[in-house]
Amino acid sequence: MFQRVNRLAIELPNVEYGDANAASAVQELLGGKFGEMSTLNNYMYQSFNFRGKKKLKPFYDLVASITAEEFGHVELVATTINLLNKGNSFTAPPDLSPLQNAKNLRNTQSFIAAAQASMPVDSMGKPWNGEFVTSSGNLVFDLLHNFFLECGARTHKMRVYEMTDHPTAREMIGYLLVRGGTHILAYAKALEMVTGVDVTRMLPIPNLDNRVFDTARKYEDRGDGHVLFTWNYVGDYEGIKQIWKGPHPTTNEPLVVIEGMPKGGKVPELDELPEEFAPGIGPDEFQMIAKRLMANM
């Protein structure tokens, strides 16, 4: 089972202006082949389908705990897209065409189908595809795939970072560069445990330190690149300590496993968009709903 906590992985800057085309680019980090929906679903199905969980518990624990973190990453990227979709329309009667700006923006479908919010699609509007999931049942194959997937995700985050200077997008990408780096290293160390091959000698891929990116630097400084969380408070996934141990290959700082989850940040409140009929509940309707909710309490 999963427990949901009403927090984001980090606090996102909620600035006064948006950038709809930046939101379109960030969609790649959500619904693209190397987006967070892919990392989540790959690890989720591998954890569901894992054979020999007792015998190979440290490896199951690793994939299962990272799965839980990826749920939060999907939420973080989706929220970033929602915050980027700000100020692209105005409240007015339909005859004044309050959504007219959508005609000249890259992701017109977002205005039509999602009220200017995130969608399970890539930067060109192609839907996320279940064929992006690899769950072969072979431990080495799946770990190697996960290593490759995280390296691809890191590459795409770097490129989207270079596309936009919007502070909300860059804050999210900086954090995920650091957390993605821990997952790359975790799968590399797991592969070494299974095969004896030191995959960490290939890192980083691409060959660029996270500290080059301004918004990633503070997360490296506070140690986020050395920590894995169990996402559990009753000791179910502590087997990751048998893999996530020793010094970090780049910083030489000790690798740490923390029981539970990070503190996280507030989930932002999204503005109502009357021109999109979202949420489509006016003052009179709200009063009636409130009366029904309070009835017989």
| pLDDT tens-digit map of 68-123 | 999 999 999 999 999 999 999 999 999 999 999 999 999 999 999 999 999 999 99
123 to each of 27, 142, 148, how far by Cα in Å? 5, 26, 21
pLDDT reading at 128 higher than 90: yes
User: Is 90 within the bounds of a domain?
Assistant: yes
Count of domains in the chain? 1
| pLDDT exceeds 90 at position 1 | no
> Has 183 been labeled as part of a binding site?
yes
User: Residue 259: pLDDT band by 50, 70, 90 thresholds?
Assistant: very high
Flag whether pLDDT at 182 surpasses 90: yes
226 carries a ligand binding annotation:
no
Is residue 145 marked as binding?
no
Question: Do the annotations mark residue 70 as ligand-binding?
Answer: yes
146 pLDDT more than 90: yes
Write out the residue range of the structural domain in which residue 146 sits: 20-294
* 260-276 confidence digits (pLDDT tens): 999 999 999 999 999 99
Structural domain includes residue 12: no
pLDDT digits (tens, 9 = 90+) for 199-255: 999 999 999 999 999 999 999 999 999 999 999 999 999 999 999 999 999 999 999
Asked if residue 285 belongs to a known ligand binding site, the reply is no
- What CATH number is attached to the domain comprising 223? 1.20.1260.10
Give the count of alpha carbons within 13 A of 173, CB side only.
31
Angle in degrees, CA 138, 232, 235, rounded to 5: 85
Question: What pTM does this model have?
Answer: 0.96
Would you say residue 4 lies in a domain? no
pLDDT recorded at residue 15:
86
What is the pLDDT at residue 297? 74
CA distance 282 to 265: 30
Residue 237 domain flag? yes
In a domain, 5, yes or no: no
Residue 9 in any domain: the answer is no
CB 39 within 8 A of CB 73: yes
* Percent of the chain topping pLDDT 90: 96
Is the residue at 162 inside a domain? yes
Is 218 domain-assigned? Answer: yes
Q: Is 259 annotated as a binding residue?
A: no
Residue 18 in marked binding region: no
